[in-house]
Amino acid sequence: MMAICGIDFGTSNSTAGCMVNDQPTLLPLEADKSTIPSALFYDFEEESVYTGRAAIQGYLSGSEGRLLRSLKSVLGTSLMDATTEIFNRPFTFRQILATFFNDLKQRAEASTGQPLTQVVLGRPVHFVDDDAKADRLAQDTLESIARDAGFRDIGFQFEPIAAAFDYEQQVEKEELALIVDIGGGTSDFSLIRLSPDRHHQLDRMADILGNAGVHIGGTDFDRLLSLAEVMPLLGLGGRLAHKDAPVPSSYYHQLATWHTINFLYDRKVKRELSEVLSEVADRARFQRLVRLVEERAGHQLAIAVEQAKIEACDTGHADVALDMIESELRLNFELATLEAAIADAVQSIDQTVEAILRQAGVSPSQVTTLFFTGGASGIPSLRHAVLGRFAHAKLVDGDRFGSVGTGLVIDASRRYR
């Protein structure tokens, strides 16, 4: 049994698990932690690679190098075959993603004490929205990486279905559950009938009434908050002094998006920024952007914005230092500011809930349970939008970072037993 595992390779965090004493168990991957940030840090000084929390710490310690996060977001996109310079040579994003995945597998094997050869991998309902070919390419690429890492048998399961299998362990009677999985990169939904009588069945297709998803998640909330509240401090929305034109916005969008931050460190982009600086009306604010790029502090800023989002959701208010931009500069706002910044994204997610109900031919009153999981499922306005449709449904909060991984282990044990 221990050769069988489930892996949730997430946009922000990843897990791996196996059956232990007939129980689905997430493995310790970094010290005693069952989650590991999906991050790599290429340390230029040591010419070494760090993963997970060590990667983030290596970057924050000030070591010269390259931090990469949100790796899953490039699957199915043209960036997959693009290259970036690391250790003075080109690396494709496929190579970078494989480096993290291989390390994840090795950590799982170190926990079990033996090779892992059979796996069920989680996947969003859509890797790429409205593009079946790109979506298939994303899964094929991940499967190829898993096979190169040493897995012999590889299956896939929609992440919200996996979360449903985790929840079903505690179900005492038949329920019609809407699984709400708001992750780092996508928001995914499944409508599924759950029952203790069918818990051990391999084929559950008759119980699945619908699946839907949209490529919006926690990293998008970070991006939208950053664009609304932080990037204006760096000159976004400003004007060029001698032209009737705005300051180019592409730099700010790259800086606000986890997996494109490193593109700003290209020599050509740095030259462009110097040229724009000579033309902007508000030189002081744009100089902040230039200095941030020169100091390669983009990920420090992204981490601060992410922290501010979490703090606002937890306490209703955020007050976070932005010393990486300028000494004593702070980001200070109320929860309502975050909710205004992400309102359109929340509406798109809510429309996806409406779509899955139409697809399944189910009315909100027929749904008995709402099961929330995913690292971004705690956004108050998002929860309010979803809950507003289901006044009589039971609300269950799963393990935000572990329900999908646990369900993948259950699925793997059924498939490969």
93-112 and 132-148 helices, crossing angle to 10°: 50
Nearest to 285 by CA among 361, 352, 234, 237: 234
In this prediction, residue 84 has a pLDDT band, given cuts at 50, 70 and 90, of: confident
Residue 37 vs residues 9, 141, 256, 259, 342: alpha-carbon distances, Å: 10, 21, 19, 14, 24
Q: Token pair of 138, please?
A: 């994303």
What is the C-alpha to C-alpha distance for residues 31 and 360, in angstroms, rounded to an integer?
A: 43
* CATH of the structural domain 4-174+398-416, one choice from 2.60.120.10, 3.30.420.40, 3.20.20.450, 3.40.50.720: 3.30.420.40
Residues above pLDDT 90, as percent of the chain: 90
Q: What is the pLDDT of residue 1?
A: 54
HEC string for the chain: CCCEEEEECCCCEEEEEEEECCEEEECCCECCECCEECEEEEECCCCEEEEHHHHHHHHHCCCCEEEEECHHHHCCCHHHHCEEEECCEEEEHHHHHHHHHHHHHHHHHHHHCCCCCEEEEEECCCCCCCCHHHHHHHHHHHHHHHHHCCCCEEEEEEHHHHHHHHHHCCCCCCEEEEEEEECCCCEEEEEEEECCCCCCCCCCHHHEEEEEEECCCHHHHHHHHHHHHHHHHHCCCCEECCCCCECCCHHHHHHHCHHHHHHHHCHHHHHHHHHHHCCECCHHHHHHHHHHHHCCCHHHHHHHHHHHHHHHHHHCEEEEECCCCCCCCEEEEEHHHHHHHCHHHHHHHHHHHHHHHHHHCCCHHHCCEEEEECCCCCCHHHHHHHHCCCCCCEEEECCCCCHHHHHHHHHHHHHHC
What is the C-alpha to C-alpha distance for residues 139 and 126, in angstroms, rounded to an integer?
A: 10
Q: What is the pLDDT of residues 348-402, one digit of tens each?
A: 999 999 999 999 999 999 999 999 999 999 999 999 999 999 989 999 999 999 9
Q: What is the pLDDT of residues 260-276, one digit of tens each?
A: 999 999 889 999 999 99
Which of 80-94, 117-131, 259-273 comes out lowest in average pLDDT? 80-94
pLDDT at 175 over 70: yes
In this prediction, residue 198 has a pLDDT band, given cuts at 50, 70 and 90, of: confident
In this prediction, residue 222 has a pLDDT band, given cuts at 50, 70 and 90, of: very high
Q: What is the pLDDT of residues 16-25, one digit of tens each?
A: 999 999 999 9
Residue 82 φ/ψ, nearest 5 degrees: -75, 165
Residues above pLDDT 70, as percent of the chain: 100
The model's pTM: 0.94
For the chain, the domains span 4-174+398-416, 219-341
Q: What is the pLDDT of residue 111?
A: 95
pLDDT at 240 over 60: yes
Mean pLDDT calculated for residue range 41-65 = 94
